[in-house]
Amino acid sequence: MAQSLVKDAVLTTTKITEQHPNNIVFWKSQVRIFYTLSQADPRYLPLALDSLKKAKTLAPTDANISYNLGLLYGQSGDSKKAIETLENTIKLKSNYTNAYYALGLFYHQEATENSGVVIDQGKEEKAIVLMKFILEKLDPNNQPAKEALKTWQQELPSSSK
């Protein structure tokens, strides 16, 4: 039964976006459907990403679409594209706390090995600057940014602190 529901959802959303290719609401709905399905079956993540790219072409200045696109690039393993997209997102909306936070996380990911050892000091510094920006300019009580800084500063060599 579950497979039947998934098939129906995919067919319905595909049909609707084919019939209304310029309707941003339908593309956003398709993204949500594919992303939700991807939680159980990762094969749907590229479909969510493709749908979000289409939504981005329809609404290129929508910061929420840009933010979500950055996140999906990251979840798809393309942190360089995630960084590029999130950099664009904060240009679209300069006070988008979540975009700054995600951007900082992706810079940190690019700056460290899986063990947490910093291998690119420049990217690590960008990550730290972004978290400090959140705390100094956007939300001084942002707990995730505080935690990230605390953790990352413990990873830095003593001479860099």
- What is the pLDDT at residue 156? 60
For the chain, the domain total comes to 2
Domain boundary among 60, 91, 111: 60
Same domain, 116 and 152: yes
Q: Taking residues 49-61, what's their average pLDDT?
A: 98
* pLDDT tens sequence across 94-116: 999 999 999 999 999 999 998 88
Asked, for residue 67, whether it belongs to a domain, the answer is no
Same domain, 146 and 101: yes
Asked, for residue 25, whether it belongs to a domain, the answer is yes
pLDDT bucket at 160, cuts 50 / 70 / 90:
low
Which residues touch 79 (CB under 8 Å, ≥6 apart)?
A: 73, 106, 109, 110
